[in-house]
Amino acid sequence: MASDAHLFEWLCRMGDNALVLGHRVSEWCGHAPVLEEDIALANTALDLIGQTQLWLGLAGEIEGKGRNADALAYRRDVMDFRNLLLVEQPNRDFGHTMMRQFLFDAWHIEMLSALKGHEHAEISAIAEKSLKEVTYHFERSADTVIALGDGTEESHKRMQDALDRLWPYVGEMFLSDDIDRAVCDPAPLREAFDARINAVLSEATLTRPDSDFAHKGGKTGVRHTEHLGHMLAVMQFLPRAYPDAQW
């Protein structure tokens, strides 16, 4: 059984992934190329923020210092965040946003499937709940990657550029340390992830990059890219300016 300190760190990793990606996706609200996509992106963001409340809520309970999900989301600074570098990458164009979503969804679905039935009953329950939502996310992001990859010359080029740019952030999802291994080691999930994405990329006529070079440090908190601090400055402004505001 994992120690409380390990559990807290691990729950922050899961919660921060959902929070940071959820916020990134929500930045599209009111800006997506068509109304249906705008609604789809906002709904995906909403699911992720809901999952954040569950993961960070449990993290706060286990930490036992009176911090709830809001306190963890809004009152930690950038170096205390434990999300993967992939999810903090900026949105860029719609294709790039969907490629980031696809790569994350493919990992997320394998991770949550592995966690469902975990000996820690609350972790298992959150995974079971989230998995239903994420299965739907993956269906949509995979369909979009195929439609745009195997679309026009322009859309194909943009999707290949997005894949090439984001690929160095894939490896971090499968690195594991003592904290991961105390709860659920992501390394053995790589094979299923590869099978999952290879099938979609080939249908999308996209070429998987050769290099397996991986940027790392996000989930261990060693380093984040410059983008996260800017994102938090926007996301955390209101609760930091009015710390005890209620509405």
Given the rule CB under 8 A, which residues bind another protein? 36-37, 39-40, 42-44, 46-51, 53-54, 121-122, 124-126, 128-133, 136, 139-140
Name the minimum Å distance from CB 145 to another protein: 14
Nearer to another protein, 58 or 179 (CB): 58
Decide whether 122 or 194 has the Cβ nearer to another protein: 122
- Closest C-alpha among 144, 172, 140, 168 to residue 158: 144
Query: Which is closer to another protein, CB of 128 or CB of 164?
Result: 128
- CB of residue 247 vs another protein: minimum separation in angstroms? 12
Q: Which is nearer to another protein, 89 or 141 (CB)?
A: 141
Question: Looking at beta carbons, which pairs linking 89-95 to residues 24 or more positions away fall under 8 Å?
Answer: 89/24, 89/166, 89/169, 89/225, 89/227, 90/24, 90/227, 91/24, 91/25, 91/27, 91/28, 92/162, 93/158, 93/162, 94/28, 94/32, 94/33, 94/37, 95/148, 95/155, 95/158, 95/159, 95/162
What SS3 string covers 168-203? HHCHHHHCCCHHHHHHCCCHHHHHHHHHHHHHHHHH
User: At its nearest, how many Å lie between another protein and the CB of residue 50?
Assistant: 2
CB of 243 to another protein, least distance (A): 21
Q: Smaller CB distance to another protein: residue 132 or 208?
A: 132
Give the shortest CB-12-to-another protein separation in angstroms: 17
